[in-house]
Amino acid sequence: MLVARLTNEEFEIVQGRVFDDAGSIYNPVPNALGTYCISEAEINATTVPDLLWVKELPLIEFVPPPSPPFPL
Amino acid sequence: LRAIHPLAGGNANAHKYNLLDARDADDAYRLTFFGGWIHGANGAMGNGINAWANTHFSELGTVLANSWNFGYYSRTDTGNIQWCDMGSFDGVRGSNIFPRVTIVTPDRLYLRHGSGGAEFTLGATTTKGFYQANRVDTTNIRARIAGSLVIQPTPYVGVNNLDYSLGSLNNNNTQQFYSAREYGLSFLADEGFTDAETLDFHNDVTALMVALGRAV
């Protein structure tokens, strides 16, 4: 799964922002190194004009963090 | 029934609406999509990383005591993997569906419904089809999974006030166990169904999926 890494500044800009006309909202998540990422699908679906810069971010393979404990 | 999300129309703007209350509002139980969903002609698919949808449906003040129903139509078959398709958990009480996981034994349906925990003794060999997590009393979950009635003795412990997620588990307002399965429909009911009603609903939803060309 491809994602784009965000700088701290970029994270602050996109966190919780609507990115399309359906009201879909970015959900940055940390990778294994703790760097926040957004997914290729969010980037491709972005239509809000002042957020189109996300389409220029390089894509890399997502390395997930360890899974949380199963909620027994 | 409070909501049926038919996930028809092929895009996020069409997929967010509740067939029973088509207002573009949280109190109409419209879906709010977060993260990287793939929307298409067959429904909406998560990415297993960060995609989930808020149903804006919580149990507290909404459902009858120990009697409600919720679920979804899954078009994706997977092996054992800790993906939650729908629900919430507050650490004590929860309602959620992990359709095929290994917790103690491989290939088990792990399903809560107003309960603390329940690993169904039912073997889970697929994650496709229409899932109804149904309860009508304090003693048993009476789910209907891909048409089959599944009765599991599971004590009712109460409701929580967390919104149900679609495509992940809302674990005390933290989204976890993101799923990458594709959904053809989801629903929320504030009252439990009889066994005959879950069968009728299964048949109706299956017929709808056939009519939409997305049955599995």
**Average pLDDT rounded to a whole number, residues B8-29:** 97
Find the CB nearest B12 among A20, A26, A67: A20
Contact residues, chain A, for B171 at CB < 8 Å: 68, 71
pLDDT at B122 over 90: no
For residues B158 and B93, give the distance between their C-alpha atoms in angstroms, rounded to a whole number: 6
Contact residues, chain B, for A27 at CB < 8 Å: 34-36, 50-52, 175
For residues A22 and A7, give the distance between their C-alpha atoms in angstroms, rounded to a whole number: 26
- Burial class from Cβ neighbours inside 10 Å (0-12, 13-18, 19+) for residue B162 reads buried
The overall longest dimension of chain B from CA atoms, in Å, is 44
Question: What pTM did the predictor assign?
Answer: 0.96
Its ipTM equals 0.97
Each residue's pLDDT tens digit, B43-101:
999 999 999 999 999 999 999 989 999 999 999 999 999 999 999 999 999 999 999 99
Each residue's pLDDT tens digit, A10-62:
999 999 999 999 999 999 999 999 999 999 999 999 999 999 999 999 999 99
pLDDT of residue B39: 98
Find the CB nearest B35 among A23, A42, A68: A42
pLDDT of residue B141: 94
pLDDT of residue B109: 93
pLDDT at B119 over 90: no
Interchain contact, B117 vs A72, CB within 8 Å: yes
The overall average pLDDT reported for chain A is: 97
Contact residues, chain A, for B15 at CB < 8 Å: 22
Q: Which residue has the tokens 């409701």?
A: B159
